[in-house]
Amino acid sequence: MKQFIRLLRYLIPYRSNVLLNVVFNLLSVVFSLVSIVMLIPFLQLLFGKTPLINEAPTFAFSPDFAISFFEFKLSTIIKESGTTQGLLFICIITAIIFFLKNLFRFLAVYVMSPVRNGVVRDIRNDLYKKILSLPLAYYSKEKKGDLIARMTDDVKEIETSIMNVLEIFFREPVNIIVFLGAMVMMSFQLTIFVFVMLLITGGIIGRIGKKLKRTSAEGQEKLGFLISIIDETLSGLRIIHAFNAGKFKTAQFKEINSSHFKIANRLTLRRELSSPLTEFLAICVVCTVLWFGGRLVLDKQLLSAETFIGFMVIFSQLIPPAKSFSNAFYNIQKGLASSHRIYEILDAENSIKETPNPISVKDFHHSIELKNVSFAYNNFDQKEILSQVNLKIEKGKMIALVGQSGAGKSTMVDLLPRFYDPQKGEVLIDGENIKNLNLHSLRDLFGIVSQEAILFNDTVYNNIAFGFPGANKEAVKEAAKIANAHDFIMRLENGYETNIGDRGSKLSGGEKQRLTIARAVLKNPPILILDEATSSLDSNSEKLVQEALNKLMKGRTSIVIAHRLSTIQFADEIIVMKNGAIAERGNHIGLMAHNGIYKQLVELQAF
């Protein structure tokens, strides 16, 4: 129940709505009880079973006064106008009471609507904010589809399960308290017996509900796997078709889908069991109460027959809220399984933390330095990706990182904007450990153009101005011109307002890359990271992109991860990486003369 209590904190901004809900529910129950209590004496007066009342009751702020007053009014009408008018009076009063009962019931639901939808909105906002704040290392361990399932299906489950339960918790206790109060006044002994029977029934329902929670958690996990497979399939359709892997992926999907099918069946059976089981247990309780109460009437004469009948009528009104409570218990177990999955994200530790008083940096002045840096993706449970790396990059220099795949080039540059933190050593900018810097201001120093062009399902303009929503249109166009992108943008259907599709699917590889370069130009960062930005392009696209990159690098500190070594021959310093360490360093001419790893790489590409 810990997660349920935590979820209740989301109700705090809506406490006024919750209070109104309780008030309206109370009024609805009061009118419901009045409709039961008043009808019997009214009919007794109408049919002459009790004498007519001749004197008006003394005013008192109580239900008894209200009943006595209406009995007096009914008696007056019967005496003056006859029983037909009295019957009409009873019908009108009954209709008014039921109208007020249902009006207040509607108002109770109405004021809870913003609470229900607001809590779901707030949970999604918190989840999205948390997802953006977690380090990249977190996502290397999690399935993307499972994360999507948690943000969509699990949050939806909270809406349909727990929020329904909350409405019941705010409504039904009022019903139960009012009806129990009336029952206690009629027979304390019989009410205690009813209470004990309800506790026994609740215990039986509780044991079944715990199994429902476990099954629900399994079902949500399998659903996350399904979404992951669908996401992988949509992203990799070309490869699946090219390798004729459709049967393999279909079999994989069917296996997970069948597993989810079995769990969903178990879940449905247990959930649907709640209503008939609750009704059966309720009938058992009613029969037991009839037996026990009947004995009080017949054997011991401790209860009059009229009182017992009235008690059973009120008790019958207690059964629906009690049944709602039992169904709510089933639902809450299902919802708690989803809330547990949500809080696994919200409670995930963020390893990239700022110091209590971080330093805000406005510019880059003289150098970047890695001192004795070692790094592994799983805290050295795996082999080191970087080992004892020492490197100093002076402002305005172009540094190239080369080496075979897995040498640690991309990992090294990922440490600079603190996408990861090294386990050993430190990264310094202008002599200050970057852990002491404000994270937002640190990342403002960097512009990144990666091998895979990261674009969003939005317009060309918004993709270039990403992170700068108020960017001047002329500035965006100028950035596009520098990136050799303006001409092809103007050929698009709606120019800068053209939607480029999911991940830029409407553009070619070279066009997508030039948009990412334009985005970096607009940001105008002092430090530029180019991670194999031209490696996946054809010759013509590479030429256009390389020209754009040369313009972008002018006057900036540039760190270039190079796949095609011909593009970095004029770098101020070339760093050759091997097995996570710096194997060679120098300029192109010096390294070629050294006759080492770099020369071998150049000759392999020339060949």
Q: CA 256 to CA 225: how far, in whole Å?
A: 7
> 331 and 237 in one domain?
yes
Q: Which tokens go with 281?
A: 């247990």
354 is a domain residue? no
State the pLDDT at residue 426: 94
Specify the pLDDT at position 161.
74
What interhelical angle do 83-133 and 63-81 show, nearest 10? 150
The reply to whether 182 and 235 lie within a common domain is yes
475 with 602, same domain: the answer is yes
Q: Which two tokens stand for residue 302?
A: 């401790």
244 and 106 housed in the same domain? no
Q: Given a cut of 70, is residue 208 above it in pLDDT? A: no
Residue 241 in any domain: the answer is yes
Domain count, the chain: 3
In a domain, 536, yes or no: yes
Q: What is the DSSP letter of 496?
A: G
Angstrom CA distances, 311 to 71, 153, 338, 481, stand at 21, 45, 41, 85
pTM greater than 0.75: no
The verdict on residue 356 lying in a domain is no
Is the pLDDT score of 66 beyond 70? Answer: no
Q: pLDDT tier at 424 (50, 70, 90 boundaries)? A: very high
Per residue in 325-382, pLDDT tens? 666 766 676 677 788 888 888 888 888 888 889 999 989 999 999 999 999 887 655 6
Same domain, 116 and 254: no
Residues 374 and 333 in one domain: no
**Residues shown for the chain:** 607
CB neighbours of residue 198 within 10 Å: 20
Residue 2 has pLDDT above 80, yes or no: no
The answer to the question of residue 577 being in a domain is yes
Highest mean pLDDT among 233-237, 278-282, 495-499: 495-499
CB neighbours of residue 205 within 10 Å: 17
Would you say residue 355 lies in a domain? no
Query: Which CATH number is 175's domain given?
Result: 1.20.1560.10
> Poorest-confidence range of 112-121, 192-201, 481-490?
192-201
End position of a domain, from candidates 133, 165, 183: 133
Domain identity same for 388 and 408: yes
Are 518 and 585 found together in one domain? yes
Nearest alpha-carbon partner for 512 in 536, 493, 494: 536
The label of the residue with tokens 């002491």 reads 436
| Same domain flag for 157 and 116 | no
In a shared domain, residues 381 and 517: yes
Tell me if 361 is assigned to some domain.
no
Residues spanned by the domain of 243: 145-349
Per-residue pLDDT, 133: 84
Residue 479 confidence (pLDDT): 87
- Which residues are bridge partners to 559 per DSSP? 399, 529
Which amino acid belongs to residue 201? T
> Sheet containing 367-375: which strands, arranged edge to edge?
386-394, 367-375, 424-429, 432-433
Given a contact cutoff of 8 angstroms between Cβ atoms, the answer to whether 602 and 565 are in contact is yes
pLDDT digits (tens, 9 = 90+) for 444-462: 899 888 878 888 888 899 8
One domain for residues 193 and 219: yes
Whether residues 451 and 586 share a domain: the answer is: yes
Please give the single-letter amino acid code of residue 567: T
- 591 assigned to some structural domain: yes
pLDDT of 432? 94
Closest CA to 439 of 122, 127, 132: 132
Query: Residue 122 and residue 127: Cα distance in Å, rounded?
Result: 9
Number of helical (H) and strand (E) elements in the chain, helices listed first: 21, 10
Query: At 338, which amino acid appears?
Result: S
Other beta carbons within 10 Å of 468: 14
Q: How far apart are CA 551 and CA 357, in angstroms?
A: 37
